[in-house]
Amino acid sequence: MALIAKQFPSRIAVATTKEGSRKIAEINFDPSDPAINHILKDGITFENDAARLLPCQALDPAVPLVRLRLSNLPFLKEDILKEHLKMSLEPYGSVLDLGILRESHTGTYMGTGYAILSVPKNDNRFFPLSHHLPWYQSEDEGFYAVWSGMPTYCRYCHAEGHAVSDCPKKRSSRVCWNCRASGHTAAECAKSKNKPFKKARKTPTAPQDCVDRLVRYFIGKNHVCSTTIFDIHSFSKSKSCATEKEVRG
């Protein structure tokens, strides 16, 4: 407080708050006070620590913020990448913050980043956001942006207006293993719907040579009747190899 009072005596009020481990000071000035530009440009100086803190100007709560998650960014040096990324996003809103994301273990940049835009409602200065955004001064190259509440887009072809389940490009790449045609899966195949789901169960029958030998045996014993022949044919496979001795017994 003493440091703020010494460097910016024209302040109206100071409020402090805490977010987790961060301590935040909100310094209020009169809108016409030139000290606003001074503190934004030079910040607050800590002479003993040879450090300086640069504040950010408070935002109008009526102006919505759009937080973008970016992918497919080009592989450029970080300073050039940020500069061109800022110019690529400026047609869609006031760029408040942007940066690149790095892999946590090795710190490797992998083509992803973030940005925060201030997009006033009914402001004709800006174009509406879309999932695919062109890169600065390059219509043939672009990157992808996603944000909360955005319109439906396809994760496969990155076009807007449909989800990946309805993507015509993804459907054309499907091949049915039943009829080998493209554009649908076996579950959607008209030919497979006409086929029974399960094959007919096979009933085991006795080999014909065993049946013939048993019939000849009973004929020789003068015990042939239609009932006896029916019983012979109803033998299971496990009994089909019964010997004449077993039948006789």
Check residue 153 and report its DSSP letter.
B
* Cβ(128)–Cβ(110) below 8 Å: no
Sort strands 109-118 and 132-135 into parallel, antiparallel or unpaired: unpaired
**Confidence band for 227, pLDDT divided at 50, 70 and 90:** very low
Tell me, yes or no, whether 4 and 70 share the same domain. Answer: no
Give the pLDDT mean for 119-137. 89
CA 93, CA 127: separation in Å to the nearest integer? 8
Tell me, yes or no, whether 38 and 76 share the same domain. Answer: no
Please give the structure tokens belonging to residue 207.
Answer: 């080999």
CA 79, CA 104: separation in Å to the nearest integer? 20
CB-CB neighbours of 27 under 10 Å: 17
62-87 pLDDT tens trace? 888 999 999 999 999 999 999 999 99
Place of tokens 């807007």: 160
Query: Is 111 a member of any domain?
Result: yes
* Domain that includes residue 27, residue range: 1-53
**Confidence band for 153, pLDDT divided at 50, 70 and 90:** confident
**Confidence band for 100, pLDDT divided at 50, 70 and 90:** very high
pTM, two decimal places: 0.56
Task: Check residue 73 and give its pLDDT.
Answer: 96
205-217 pLDDT tens trace? 656 666 566 556 5
Cα radius of gyration (the chain) = 40
Q: Among 1-10, 41-50, 160-169, where is mean pLDDT lowest?
A: 160-169
Query: Is 74 a member of any domain?
Result: yes
CA dihedral sign of residues 79, 82, 84, 90 = negative
Give the pLDDT mean for 188-213. 63
- In this structure, what CATH number is given to the domain that contains residue 139? 3.30.70.330
**Confidence band for 113, pLDDT divided at 50, 70 and 90:** very high
Is the confidence at residue 151, as pLDDT, over 70? yes
Is the confidence at residue 59, as pLDDT, over 70? yes
Contacts with 136 (C-beta within 8 Å, 6 or more apart), sequence order: 84, 85, 87, 88
Mean model confidence pLDDT for the chain: 79
Domain count, the chain: 2
Task: Check residue 244 and give its pLDDT.
Answer: 47
Is the confidence at residue 159, as pLDDT, over 70? yes
Domain boundary among 128, 147, 166: 147
Task: Check residue 230 and give its pLDDT.
Answer: 44
Report which of 14, 19, 79 is spatially closest to residue 44, judged by C-alpha positions.
14
Tell me, yes or no, whether 143 and 69 share the same domain. Answer: yes
Tell me, yes or no, whether 47 and 70 share the same domain. Answer: no
Contacts with 54 (C-beta within 8 Å, 6 or more apart), sequence order: 40, 43
Task: Check residue 15 and give its pLDDT.
Answer: 92
Range ranked top by mean pLDDT from 135-144, 202-211, 239-248: 135-144
